[in-house]
Structure formats: structure tokens, C-alpha cells
């Protein structure tokens, strides 16, 4: 596995690969890899000739109150994990190279960024869309891989690729979970033992929502209320939001009459966890 920290060298390698008619798969990450990332890397390796994993803790997607400084980082561990998963290239640019003095271009996927996590994390999706466009420009992937855990991010990136006429296939792979159902996330490391137990309320609420829809419940507000009840039982958990929305437009729905995204963000202690599921009537 090649490790590249220079934007120029990464762009040059991509140019050479294109000339050789090699296909490139990109897995954008912020590092501190877990099995969710590894499943994306393994799939990229199966689908494309060259699997590139980028590791970049993107400062512009964190608000001043968020955890940029303490976001977990361990490049040595990530290198080993990426190599074992089959990555061919690890691209690890620096923040000053990505956003040099005088940088002023940003990408805003306006309406889709305004719901779910958007109002709770101002500027977050603008930061995500901007860095993803930059990574696409440098790595020039044929296919890019994202996880369903960040459902809104995936919908936004698909729309951005469509709106900007980018010839890149966006693949969204299922959420990878711990044995007990907790969605894998680099931020799970922040949880204390007690919080780790309470964090199961997210998957518990989702499972009960799925069961309710299976037994015929169609009212989004009733399902959300039931989920709120489950989460409020946990002393360390505080709901940021729970919403039922259309899977593509992300507009709120009142009735579950077709596939609906149920998405939630919950603070467990100080750690903000997100999870979601597609409810099928
Ligand atoms: O999902 C993430 O880890 C990040 O938002 C991404 C897509 C790598 C952009 O920084």
C-alpha cells in the first residue's frame, strides 16, 4: 500500500492510473477506522482496480463547539487496518494543503442540508460537500463509497454529484454494527461503560419502530413518540432529533405509505450518536 500525503503526488498517480485505463475506488474517511470503513474498502477493492482510502479530519465540517481537537486519530493503526483490508493507496493530506491561506470556495447543497442534522450542526454539510468535491477532484474516482449510517450525507453527496454533472458512481453500503446492534462509529470510543450500555437505546428505538410498521402502524408521529419514550428511559441519553422523512427529498412525512427514512441523533453523555433505518410498509 502506497502512503501519499501530497495532493500533487496523489493527483499525478490518479492521472497515470487513468492513462492505464485503471478504475479507481475512493473511500473518504476521517480515520480512526472501524469495521464499517473496512467493509467500504473491501468492496472498493472488489469493484475497482485501485482502492484509495483518504484519511483527513476535515476542520471545516466541525463547528467551533464540536470535537475537532479531540477527534480520535491514530495513523499507524489506520495504516495497518487499511492495508489488511486491501487498500492500495492511503491518501492523507494536511489541512494547510487542503485549505491554504486565501482558500474561499465552498459547496452548499442547500435544501437537503437544511433538515435532519443540518439545523443542529450549522455549516457541517457545507464542509462535507466541499471536502468531498476536493477529494473527487484530486483522486478522480470512478466509484466512491459511503456508509448508510450517515444517511443524510449520502443523499447530499448523490445530489451534489448529479447537480455538478460529475461522472462518479456513489455507492452506499449498509451500516455495520457491533454484535449488540450499536452502529459502528469512530466516536463510540468516547463512551463510558455506562454510556455504552445506554447507547443501545438508539437501535432499540429503531427496532421497535420497524416492528410497529410491520404490525401496521403508519403514523410517523406515533412511531416517533414511541421512540422518544424508549430513549428518555436512559439517564445519560438526550434526544437531539428524531425525524421520519422521504428517502430522497428528506422532506418530513406524516404517513408511512412508502419507504421512509427514520433518522435520529442522540447525545449519550457528551457524545452525539446518529443512526437510521429505512422503514418499509
Ligand atoms: O463520513 C465522514 O467520515 C466524513 O464526513 C467524510 C465523508 C470523510 C468527509 O470528511
* Model confidence pLDDT, tens digit, residues 170-201: 999 999 999 999 999 999 999 999 999 999 99
Distance 226 CA to ligand 1 centre (A): 31
- 3-class SS at 177? strand
Based on the fold, state whether residues 38 and 137 are members of the same structural domain.
Answer: yes
Q: Give me the residues of the chain with pLDDT under 50, please.
A: none
Best probe residue, ligand 1, of 34, 39, 56, 153 (max atoms within 8 Å of C-beta): 153
Based on the fold, state whether residues 207 and 156 are members of the same structural domain.
Answer: no
pTM of the model: 0.98
Based on the fold, state whether residues 163 and 270 are members of the same structural domain.
Answer: no
Residue ending a domain, among 122, 143, 173, is 173
Residue ending a domain, among 121, 149, 173, is 173
154 lines ligand 1 (CB under 6 A): no
Based on the fold, state whether residues 43 and 165 are members of the same structural domain.
Answer: yes
How many structural domains comprise the chain?
2
Based on the fold, state whether residues 22 and 73 are members of the same structural domain.
Answer: yes
Based on the fold, state whether residues 115 and 247 are members of the same structural domain.
Answer: no
> Choosing from 37, 47, 120, 124, which is the catalytic residue?
37
Name which of 31, 125, 115 is nearest 73 in CA terms: 31
Contact criterion met (CB below 8 Å) for 2 and 13: yes
pLDDT at 1: 98
Based on the fold, state whether residues 12 and 101 are members of the same structural domain.
Answer: yes
pLDDT at 255: 98
Task: Give the domain range for residue 200.
Answer: 186-276
40 lines ligand 1 (CB under 6 A): no
pLDDT at 228: 98
179 in a domain, yes or no?
Answer: no
Cell numbers 424508549: residue = 230
Q: What is the Cα–Cα distance from 217 to 210, expressed in whole angstroms?
A: 9
pLDDT at 156: 98
Based on the fold, state whether residues 35 and 105 are members of the same structural domain.
Answer: yes
Ligand 1 atom closest to residue 29's alpha carbon, by position in its atom list = 8
180 in a domain, yes or no?
Answer: no
- List alpha helices for 199-235, DSSP H: 201-214, 220-232
Amino acid at each position: 500500500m502506497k502512503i501519499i500525503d501530497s495532493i500533487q503526488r496523489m493527483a499525478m498517480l490518479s492521472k497515470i492510473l487513468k492513462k492505464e485505463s485503471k478504475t479507481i475506488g475512493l473511500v473518504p474517511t476521517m480515520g480512526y477506522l472501524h469495521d464499517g470503513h473496512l467493509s467500504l474498502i473491501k468492496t472498493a477493492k472488489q469493484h475497482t482496480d485501485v482502492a484509495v482510502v483518504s484519511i483527513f479530519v476535515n476542520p471545516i465540517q466541525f463547528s467551533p463547539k464540536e470535537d475537532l481537537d479531540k477527534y480520535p486519530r491514530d495513523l499507524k493503526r489506520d495504516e495497518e487496518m487499511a492495508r489488511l483490508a486491501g487498500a492500495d493507496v492511503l491518501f492523507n493530506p494536511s489541512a494547510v494543503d487542503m485549505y491554504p491561506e486565501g482558500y474561499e470556495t465552498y459547496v452548499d447543497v442547500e435544501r437537503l442540508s437544511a433538515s435532519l442534522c443540518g439545523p443542529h450542526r450549522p455549516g457541517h454539510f457545507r464542509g462535507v460537500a466541499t471536502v468531498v468535491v476536493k477529494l473527487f477532484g484530486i483522486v478522480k474516482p470512478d466509484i466512491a463509497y459511503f456508509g448508510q449510517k450517515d444517511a443524510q450525507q449520502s443523499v447530499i453527496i448523490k445530489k451534489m454529484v448529479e447537480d455538478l454533472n460529475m461522472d462518479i458512481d456513489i455507492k452506499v453500503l449498509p451500516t455495520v454494527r457491533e454484535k449488540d446492534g450499536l452502529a459502528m462509529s469512530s466516536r463510540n470510543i468516547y463512551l463510558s461503560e455506562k454510556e455504552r450500555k445506554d447507547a443501545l437505546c438508539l437501535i432499540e428505538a429503531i427496532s421497535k419502530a420497524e416492528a410497529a410498521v410491520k404490525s401496521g402502524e403508519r403514523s410517523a408521529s406515533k412511531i416517533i413518540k414511541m421512540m422518544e419514550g424508549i430513549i428518555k428511559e436512559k439517564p445519560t441519553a438526550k434526544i437531539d432529533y428524531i425525524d421520519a422523512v422521504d428517502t430522497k427529498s428528506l422532506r418530513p412525512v406524516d404517513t408511512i405509505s412508502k419507504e421512509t427514512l427514520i433518522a435520529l441523533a442522540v447525545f449519550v453523555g457528551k457524545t452525539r450518536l446518529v443512526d437510521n433505518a429505512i422503514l418499509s410498509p
